[in-house]
Amino acid sequence: MLVALLPPMVGNSIIIGANDWLLANIGSYVYFIGLDFSVLALLRFTADYCDISYVGTKWRVVVTTIIALDILQLLLNPITGHAFMLRLTMVDETVYYQLVPLAGQYVHRVVAYGIFFVSVFIFAFKTFRVSRIYVEKYLVIFLSMVFVGLWETFYIFSGTPIDRSMIGFGVFGLLVFYFALYFKPMRLLDRMLARIVSGMNAAVFFFDTSRKCIYGNDTARDLVNLGQGDEIPENVSESVAKAIGGWGGAYKEEWHAVRHVFRDSREYYLDVLVQQIYDERNRYLGAAVSVRDITAEEQKLQREQFLANHDVLTGLFNQRHLYERARLLIDENPETQYEVVGIDIKDFKIINDIFSKEFGDHVLCVLADAMRSETQPGTVYGRLTGDKFGFVAPKGMYTADHLNALLDLKLYGDDLSNYPIVVHIGMFEATDRTLPISVMFDRAFMAINSIKHDYNRRVARYDEAMRDDLIWNQTISSQLDKAIRERQIRPYLQPMVDADGNVEGAEVLVRWIHPDEGFLSPARFIPVFENNGMVAQLDEYMWRCACEILRDWADRGIDLFLSVNISPKDFYFIDVFGVIKGLVDEYAIDPAKLRLEITETVMMTDLENRLRIIENLRSEGFLVEMDDFGSGYSSLNMLKDIPVDVLKIDMMFLYKTKDQSKAQTILQTIINLSGQLGIPSVTEGVETAEQLDMLVNMGCSLFQGYYFAKPMPVSEFEERFRAA
């Protein structure tokens, strides 16, 4: 808008100073057209300054069109002569060309004055409608516009030969420049700042150079127990110091602190800020003190920190924070030897199933309370995961007996029956302090794994043999796929013979010819796979090997059967019926030639479902053998419920008793029982001729054991069979 004021001022100056008709005409056109641009810019400025929508509206299009038409009709004046003409006049003996308005000039005045008065009206409206503290912002420009308008009107209607209204334009421009860009209404600022400070949630005090309080907002008065109308006492600084727990830093120094104070039996956290105030010449004016109550924020932060570092159920450290605190404890006490202790509740899932999850949570809380009340200073403890807890303590602080007593929990279930909670404890001595804390606890729980099935031991210490076993288990498990693919794992056959030594069939046993370890005993890898479930993959492979052998034998006219083992874990990881039936169909062999050996442990869980699977297999023509009959505790009960075709009697129980006569009587009874039930029997574990003679006399007809042959490769078995 300031730029738009320049053309009419220049045109007016040209008119006043022109001494010939052409220059005066040029000045007039610059003046009138420049005035059109000025009022157009004035309207845009007015809308922006008064926060009125204008740009992008239809009104801007209308106003711009009117201005354009007015400029056009002025530019046509040299041709039509309809707008104005200039008349030579002598003023104080000086030549001056005075304007003679015609119709077009009156149109121009209507357009310019019309837009000008719209702007004046907008400023008048804003001046009388805004809050009093904002009146100054609009009133000065409104009055200056009225002044310029009156000045210009005076020249139009007074007949004064020389128009000096450009002075008014200049004054107006200067006022707009100052008020629009630089003016700051101090009264407005004072009131706004006072209102803001008064309504702040923080207590704000202003002290002068003599430490006298000259202002305190409403919150500040509440802090020092002053009413809203009370005079602020001179010694209020003492009350402030008491309320915030002391000044902390020197009064004439800037400082910031969070204070923890107690007032009226309540706990508060206060954020205190002391600021020093100086004028523009760096002269000291006083101090401003703000006190903000951050109790809710601090308590929320403490709750969040607690939840981030503690287990929600038990209130103990969670795993992450326990590891951090344990690391700190060990690092800050280099002269102290520490032990890492892992705690695991035995069969916790069964406890949840029998009693309820709520009771299980109660068990965890009782264990946590026992740790909280019994652990001594210098230890850190927490809940790791699920039913696993742990702590780190100086070596020798807790003996095995002490830990047993500490965690000897007896709780009541839902039926109020006294239920003993068995807790296993593993201990690891942190001789290598650089080990990650997680690894230390892993080794403590590794010790627990070594006694999980030992009901007589509850505490175990870690040794390197456990670590070696773990590494071996992981190594051998990772190699199973490759071993099967490369046929490192092979079927070995142990013959089953009749009393005359004739081979009737064989049991398929797994052997591993390892490229680095050589011949691996089954005891080195089968228990590993039993524990991790990979035995299902191994068994499926051995079933396939047995089917390949039977297919080959059938093609070559060899009429023998093979027995394969089914592990209890197989039922969890594979479809036993579907896989075995699919293999027999794939190799097109007689199902009766592939005998399936199960033990009583197979039927210990999910009896109904597994009975259904076994009956389905028998209906397809498979023969089911009960292996190790007589070695378990429920063999007779299983024999009653499970439909089997062959009993495999274990001779080992004869070697585990001092009363051989009683053992032989039991063995005779089992053989007689199998005959009475019409179930053929196979006695395994035969190692001497005397044992064979005894079994023949007892009525047993099929035998297996080292007396006849050890397990051997398929090729060796076939050579002996052909030789026989």
Distance, in Å, from the CA atom of 25 to the CA atom of 168, rounded to the nearest integer, reads 22
Q: Is 434 helix (H, G, I), strand (E, B) or coil?
A: coil
Distance, in Å, from the CA atom of 537 to the CA atom of 517, rounded to the nearest integer, reads 21
State how far the alpha carbon of 634 is from the alpha carbons of 434, 599, 607, in Å. 51, 11, 13
Residue 488's Cβ-count burial label (10 Å; 0-12, 13-18, 19+) is: middle
Q: Which of 684, 690, 716, 719 is catalytic?
A: 684
Q: Is 267 a catalytic residue?
A: no
Contacts 24+ apart (CB under 8 A), 357-360: 359/411, 359/413, 359/414
Distance, in Å, from the CA atom of 588 to the CA atom of 586, rounded to the nearest integer, reads 6
Cβ within 8 Å of residue 229, ≥6 positions away: none
Residues 201-214 as b or e (16 or more Cβ within 10 Å = b): ebbbbbbeeeeebe
Distance, in Å, from the CA atom of 671 to the CA atom of 546, rounded to the nearest integer, reads 29
Cβ atoms 205, 288 nearer than 8 A: yes
State how far the alpha carbon of 92 is from the alpha carbons of 20, 121, 154, 162, 522, in Å. 16, 40, 21, 11, 133
For residue 434, give the amino acid letter. T
Phi, psi of 57 (to 5 degrees): -105, 170
Nearest to 315 by CA among 262, 354, 355, 364: 364
Distance, in Å, from the CA atom of 76 to the CA atom of 310, rounded to the nearest integer, reads 89
Cβ atoms 82, 76 nearer than 8 A: yes
H-type helices in 131-217, by residue range? 135-158, 166-181, 186-198
Cβ atoms 42, 115 nearer than 8 A: yes
Q: What is the 3-state secondary structure (H, E, C) of 75-106?
A: HCHHHHCCCEEEEEEEECCEEEEEEEECHHHH
Helix, strand, coil proportions of the chain in percent (round to 5)?
50, 20, 25
Per-residue tokens: 636: 């007779």
Dihedral sign of CA atoms 612, 615, 621, 622 in order: positive
Active-site positions? 684
